[in-house]
Structure 1
């Protein structure tokens, strides 16, 4: 991913800066103007303090004056925002409003009540909401403008090689210890029955919501298994159909505002969906997610099946590779001798480039992309050894039994083209995107009205074009 050359500050200042903005307005002064947007000293000061605190927490310092750094970041954001208006860049207004409400509810919960929040911020809630909306909106426009600038930047193998050769040995990234492993997975045999039980639960909820015996959002809070939306009554920020699971999106597209779908099966589980409203290509909706749940006996049955298979492998009655091909329920690895890749993650994010598929996993990948249960089992093994069967879940929360085999431990090393091409390609692409963005930014600075208070003009700016 492209490491943004801009550190957007709207979100960071939402909590700390709302009250400060009102308290300091009489004493404040404009320290810079970019296009039609002014920057107040209080904004710069608040962001500078946030930068200093963040660096202390992360254990590093910078030779650069934090106020100058904060000012440049704010000016860059203002320029991007103004350019987005000029270029008629589109953003998701519904998503901005949803983000504001989410943040507002977090602030209320943090203070204990709406009244306490208003007292702390010295303003009514509608003023807090409006300040937050403006800042979220500016950030979203700036982010979208920057994405537009670098979106079409690509890289070819020759550029990766030249980038690699341009780096000194000390500049090469150090790749931490990596693990290559294989697996055999087994879902409970009663999956069909468990799916039917899940459908019936959702049908009952749908009936209760339609007849008015229960509110959809209350059912979502009580029963949905999606931690990201359940506390919001199942409400999702407005999304386009292309961003959703195909079967989920197809069901949503057929709904009218207020209508509730039939039970929908997706890669994530089973859902019922209620459309709130639709603006252009953005759908605002809420949903309830349930996944099949198995009894202890049903889970134990799949565990016993794998235990028997482990015994056959250890007695050399069958190889691990053949056992994976004939018995594993994981379609992504069974035909490759059980070797685990990130193909499931690629599918999750709708990535289609086969060259991005990897079979080497860093320690930090476990818990993010792969199960921590896998890592805990692998840590007890030596290369070539196989674990006992254990119960776990896949990245979508589906319960299963699994056995893993540690194939190789790749020690910590300096990145090389042969072993770490994808990591170097990512670095090369980031470097190219940053060059493209910097060149674009310099041209836009030269063409846009920029005023900097004399007190700040002598400061150190990363981009020298700011001082005209």
Structure 2
């Protein structure tokens, strides 16, 4: 099963490493070829480093496994071209831009990125075109091969019955938790004080004090304070607060904004650099404190909502849509989502305040409204809903059908891909470097290579 998941993951993996930087340390040579598509030694080395950086569990022989992944990808690309599968060039450009912005965010600035990579931004974008295009073509071809693959309940049961009883997975307790969040509105005097603080900080910046130092000292944006308040924006991004976003794009390089109010609090913004639709800024955030009176008002509002939920006059999803002020809740139906996107989470994935609340709750119950902080450190009041709680247990079909069916479907898809390649490998020109002759998993590819 681990190999199945690994192969599927590496077909879909995205670029997360500066390949230009890595190539400085690798003496390149051609170690594989499918048709006219070559595989370089650096391609394998970089892919392994990418996986390590992402925290993937590597197989025993990563060189063999990643070579198999590269061979699979090249073959899928060739077949995609033969089948006239097309890709959206603008979409590829957008994905490359997103990757570059992620790098800039990680390294602090465009200049730092270019220095580390030894390449300009334009050169990096050019470097990424081929791997991004190949990855997109391979993904589309894979989707085409697997688009009709479904799994039936009979197949799920057969898959489960085939797992040795002493190898069945053990699942820890999991929870389905929802929340309805409202934000107490700060008093106007408190807001005025926060704005005054920012105006004073702005004067310090204009008198010559480094903005990044002031951000580290005073900003309440925990996600950027250690990077001196750096944010990288693109004119096409939709997730930013409109007031903050519009102000940032109106500024000139080096200019500091007046105080801006957003849904997160109050900001001052300084533009570091502009390049077309991309802009790098630093900001300092102040979140106005709320008083007990404002918190009490929000608690009373949610207490009324809780009464309706308990009485059954409103359903949880409807209450989220109508009353929750957390934007993320609108997309998740108010449910806390796990890393895999499912509504089931383990207790270690929850905020400590939430853990204390649900400890004594039973499925179907709603907590009293309580004051807590959201993911951005902003004060809020929330009702917590415990939809379901599972007990620690060995996997079984009744309680874990969805998980088991996902594994069964993944295996069926992998078997379909394996059969598809077995029928086509001999139709490609295959070359594999002799250093891979000891890779058992590459058997069919090695045989095809010897024939050629």
Q: TM class by shorter-chain length?
A: 0.5 to 0.7
Contact 1:48 1:69 in 2 (8 A): no
1:412 to 362, 372, 392: 392
Residue 87 of structure 2 corresponds to 91
**Is 1:146 matched up with 2:142?**
yes
Q: Secondary structure at the match of 2:312?
A: helix
Residue 70 of structure 1 corresponds to 66
Q: Distance in 2 between matches of 1:414 and 1:87?
A: 45
Q: Distance in 1 between matches of 2:309 and 2:59?
A: 56
Deviations 1:346-405 (A, max 9, x none): 7799xxxxxxxx9865436757xxxx76444203x254876332257999x999854446
Q: Distance in 1 between matches of 2:316 and 2:173?
A: 29
- How far 1:70 moved relative to its partner? 2.5
Change (3 A) 1:79 1:406: closer
Residue 249 of structure 2 corresponds to none
Residue 310 of structure 2 corresponds to 323
Residue 47 of structure 2 corresponds to 47
Q: How many residues align?
A: 350
**Is 1:131 matched up with 2:122?**
no
Residue 235 of structure 1 corresponds to 236
Structure 2 gap segments, 5+ residues each: 186-223, 225-230, 240-276, 280-287, 322-328, 336-341
- How far 1:285 moved relative to its partner? 13
- How far 1:170 moved relative to its partner? 2.8
Report the RMSD for the aligned CA atoms in angstroms.
Answer: 5.1
Deviations 1:202-246 (A, max 9, x none): xxxxxxxxxxxxxxxxxxxxxxxxx9xx84244249xxxxxx9xx
Contact 2:370 2:383 in 1 (8 A): yes
Q: TM-score, normalization: structure 1?
A: 0.58
Q: Secondary structure at the match of 1:43?
A: helix
Q: Distance in 2 between matches of 1:401 and 1:373?
A: 12
Q: Distance in 1 between matches of 2:345 and 2:42?
A: 45
Contact 1:388 1:403 in 2 (8 A): yes
Q: Secondary structure at the match of 1:444?
A: helix
Change (3 A) 1:68 1:4: closer
- How far 1:43 moved relative to its partner? 2.3
Contact 1:4 1:434 in 2 (8 A): no
Structure 1 gap segments, 5+ residues each: 191-226, 238-243, 245-283, 287-292, 311-319, 335-342, 350-357
Q: Distance in 1 between matches of 2:309 and 2:45?
A: 64
Residue 434 of structure 2 corresponds to 454
**Is 1:363 matched up with 2:368?**
no
Contact 2:234 2:278 in 1 (8 A): no
